[in-house]
Structure 1
Amino acid sequence: MRHLFMLKLVGTTVLTTLFFVAYFQLLRHPAYPVATMPLTPLDALVAFRPEAIFPYLSLWIYIGIGPGMQRDFRSLASCGSWMVAMCAAGLAIFHFWPTAVPPTAFDASGFFGFQLLQGIDAAGNACPSMHVAAAMFTVVRIERVLRGIGAPRALRAVNLIWFVAIAWSTLATRQHVVLDVAGGAMLGIVFALPSLHWKPRAHRISSNSGPTRKEKPS
């Protein structure tokens, strides 16, 4: 994780900041009428749980692990490029199809952290859930690294459980509905899987790469 540490740290911070600038611009100034996402019978199966705010907020730690575990520059560039493309696709959807979650029947602002959460991450930009999309992208990238180094199954299970906890928390905090989660999972998969197979080409400079001179016949 220490390899290319500063590049990973600065790159993740800058890209996250730029994403949120665009995200909040679209949230506060939607270009088109905002559609309310419908509830499904599955939404009723997930109860509101105030403690779900902790796995919800843990995404900001989780998404840093994915780039941090990339072992070389090519893998890091691939991870970053596809993540940027995924975020751009999500923002494009929010621009052309702004959505919001339906209002809840109760006020959750009295629970720890919810007043701040609802003030910052309002009910808009609902579908697809970028929270779930980012978590899905990250779980796939981390799984590839863990499998490649022969990590114990328990560690790989922790990675999967963390993803599931984040996805569940988006419903249990009432920040999203099931359709948002499904959309976010699909968006994450669409970009995560190609990212495993495409990497920038490595340009190698050979010591004999310069032009060769033809010897004049004696």
Structure 2
Amino acid sequence: MIALPPRMRALALGWGAVGVAYTLSSLLQGPGTVLAESALDRLVPFDPRGVWLYLSFFALIPYAYLRADAARVPWLMRAMQFGALVSGIVFVLFPTTLHYPPVAGASLSAAALRLLAAGDSAQNCLPSLHAALTCLAARALVDARRPWRSALVVLWSAAITWSIVQTRRHLALDISAGVLVALVCGMLAARLPAFSRRAI
């Protein structure tokens, strides 16, 4: 068996748990309750061009595992595992969906968004794991000793969060729930000294 480097192992166990929870909940859940757009959602116009910021999430997560302070990596892994568990339970017990706007046009952005939608679940909306994991990754990376990187990470995370609504993959309510999941699971993970204090 190939032994993964510690940071890559943490990435596989943390982010991998999210994939397992997301997939299993999609198989176990019933029809979803349709969530309606709020006034806050309508302030963000639908625009397929936001897909590139949305997809940059898939760079932020591994970047967090590879570049965060070593002592924070076990916390990040455990917080993501807790987030996957909590979100998976909600997805099964209270599945949700939304009215996805049609993606018209022949632009590369529109094509990318259609491809993303085709491979994603139409349910699993609330809480937004995209938002929850973005928050956790940002928390792991923000460091007073690296102010410029911290500022860029905050801006990057805010842009990803904006794009989640801009592409209508989630609504503001889903994002709020995702942020709450991140806060609760982050605090829970920090209360496990064996994992939160052991450096990688």
TM-score interval, normalised by the smaller of the two chains: 0.7 to 0.9
Q: Give the direction of change, closer, same or farther, for the CA distance of 1:26–1:108 in structure 2 (3 Å limit).
A: farther
Identity score, percent: 22
Give the CA RMSD over aligned residues.
Answer: 2.4
Q: Deviations over 1:74-101 (max 9, x none)?
A: 5432221122111111111101111112
- 1:208 maps to which residue? none
Q: Deviations over 1:21-53 (max 9, x none)?
A: 4313322x3433311112111111101122211
Q: Which has the larger radius of gyration?
A: 1
Kept in 2: contact 1:52–1:172 (CA 8 A): yes
Q: 2:94 aligns with which of 97, 100, 105?
A: 97
Matched, 1:165 2:166: no
- 1:139 maps to which residue? 138
Task: Please tell me the residue identity of whatever aligns with 1:85.
Answer: F
Give the gaps of 5 or more residues in structure 2.
none
- 1:78 maps to which residue? 75
Q: Give the direction of change, closer, same or farther, for the CA distance of 1:84–1:17 in structure 2 (3 Å limit).
A: closer
Give the gaps of 5 or more residues in structure 1.
204-218
Between the two proteins, the alignment pairs up a number of residues equal to 191
Runs of 4+ in structure 1 displaced over 4 angstroms? none
Q: CA deviation at 1:157?
A: 1.4
Instruction: Please report the TM-score for the alignment, with normalisation by the length of structure 2.
Output: 0.84
- 2:65 maps to which residue? 67
Q: CA deviation at 1:197?
A: 5.6
